[in-house]
Chain A
Amino acid sequence: MLAIEGLRSDLVGPVDLAVAAGECVTIEGPSGCGKTRFLRAIVDLDPNRGRVRLDGRQREAMPAWRWRRLVGMVPAESGWWADRVSEHFERPEALPPLLEALGLPPDSPDWEVSRLSTGERHRLAIARALCLEPRALLLDEPTASLDAAATARVEALLHRLLQAGRPLVVVTHDPAQARRLGARRLTMREGRLAPAGEAVR
């Protein structure tokens, strides 16, 4: 379980949220309301205050880099620092099943990063995060740049993670995606979380 209590950063909070094992929470809300900032605060990428625990393990009790291996985050814009795709992966042996699940050809690690399409980049970034086998995953608009077929593949992969008992937090603009993931829907407004139901219905 991912437990968040009184989390605050510059533009966010205080936020309390508990995501159970195998549960998916989606966060909707207008641009600039703090959705991305909230995910960044959970993984400690921005200065923040509050208690965050994963399966009872306190975030502050470990170095930040180790926490980020337990709680993975895939940002909306993927970052690359070398010429070849394969140079960005730490455990290439974990890669083939992920590539297949995401509809990417087995030779895609040999590609040049500069020639990737936005959608390819994003799917490779998801594969890169999953290679580390995080115990919980935060995704920021994971399918915004993908077509229907690729979106379905990503969602199928997320379903498999949920079945494996991983807590997921997904920022999305698409209520239909939240339903397909069987998610508990929340809305963020001015840095605060509320159930999505009331306002939308």
Chain B
Amino acid sequence: MNGYLPLSYLDVLLAALFLLIAATVSLLARLGLERRLVFVSLRMVVQLALVGLLLKALFTLASPWLTLFAALFMLAMASREVGARQQRPLAGIWGYGLGATTMMTAGMLITVFALTLQIRPDPWWAPRYALPLFGMILGNTMNGVALALDGLHVALVRERVAVEARLLLGHTRFRAVQPVLVRALRAGFTPILNAMAATGVISLPGMMTGQILAGVDPREAVKYQLLIMFLISGATGLGVLGAVWGSILLLTDRRDRLRLERLAPPRERL
């Protein structure tokens, strides 16, 4: 038996009723929020409608190449985001390339692993399973990688004198950056550690809630959620380690020098 209760478009519109009330209050009280509220919600409707259509089309076509193309598009967007979230990204192609390489390696590896060994849809790349799974893994890895790289680069610039003091005392480049590196890794791991600690106690994860609403036995939903959390933290861990390690290799050289000129110049902040 299927416990899923379908919604009509009218049901969805009714749910927007309270948003309209809030917008009206804003209008009457001259809070100036009503235009933004309406605009953002309309934009959300358009975005989600398009995604729904796109996913529907991808599921129907069930082409491995189109699925791969969609995954690569998601990866490109995530790489752009990782670059944009850093105050001092690497200069040139590595500014996006490092995030892209590590997220692609970690994200694809873990997604393919889960699809072929645990979830096992038929075919294994079926977009209905592959794309949402890759999306969840990618989103979390992106968060961790962006935080870790931002922390690493800002700290290297701020603590250049301390790192160079260690180099001058005859430390290798890897030992010299170690105090900074540990803090950057910690920053990258924090969101996923917090998510694991809070999940089920403070918040019910969105995916699990969705499955329960769709009629799945909560025990089954929990199993799925655990699988996802393990995959997400594994991918985040691999991605963060790879990105930080790669960045250290790019920002130092074989003669144990710190090469901060390989960072992009500071951004103009208004």
Contacts and interface: CB of A to CB of B under 8 A. Distances in A.
Q: Do A and B bind each other?
A: yes
Interface of A: 43-47, 63-66, 68-69, 72-75, 77-82, 90, 125, 128-129, 132
B255 A80 contact: no
A79 B177 CA distance: 13
A170 B169 CA distance: 18
Top-8 shortest CB links A-B: A79-B165, A69-B170, A79-B162, A79-B161, A64-B256, A64-B255, A81-B162, A68-B170
Contacts of A46: 257
Contacts of B179: 81-82
A81 B164 CA distance: 11
B164 A65 contact: no
B257 A73 contact: no
A36 to B, nearest CB: 12
Contacts of B165: 75, 78-81, 125
B166 A128 contact: no
Contacts of B169: 68, 90, 128-129, 132
8 contacts: A43-B168, A63-B172, A68-B168, A68-B256, A75-B168, A79-B165, A80-B165, A129-B169
A45 B165 CA distance: 11
Most chain A CB neighbours (cut-off 10 Å) among B164, B172, B179: B164
Given A64-B257, A65-B256, A82-B179, 9 more contacts: A45-B168, A64-B256, A65-B167, A69-B170, A78-B165, A80-B162, A81-B165, A81-B166, A132-B169
Interface residues of B, number: 19
Contacts of B168: 43, 45, 68, 72-75, 129
Most chain A CB neighbours (cut-off 10 Å) among B167, B168, B172, B257: B168
A80 B168 CA distance: 12
Contacts of A47: 253, 255, 257
A75 B164 contact: yes
Contacts of A66: 170
Contacts of B256: 44, 63-65, 68
A129 B167 CA distance: 11
Contacts of A64: 167, 255-257
Contacts of A77: 161
B235 to A, nearest CB: 31
Contacts of A128: 169
A99 B208 CA distance: 63
Contacts of B258: 45
A64 B162 CA distance: 18
Contacts of B255: 44, 47, 64
Contacts of A69: 170
B163 interface: yes
A5 B257 CA distance: 21
A65 B166 CA distance: 10
Contacts of B162: 79-81
A73 B167 CA distance: 10
Given A65-B167, A73-B168, A132-B170, A44 B161 contact: no
A73 B163 CA distance: 14
B217 interface: no
A79 B257 contact: no
A65 B161 contact: no
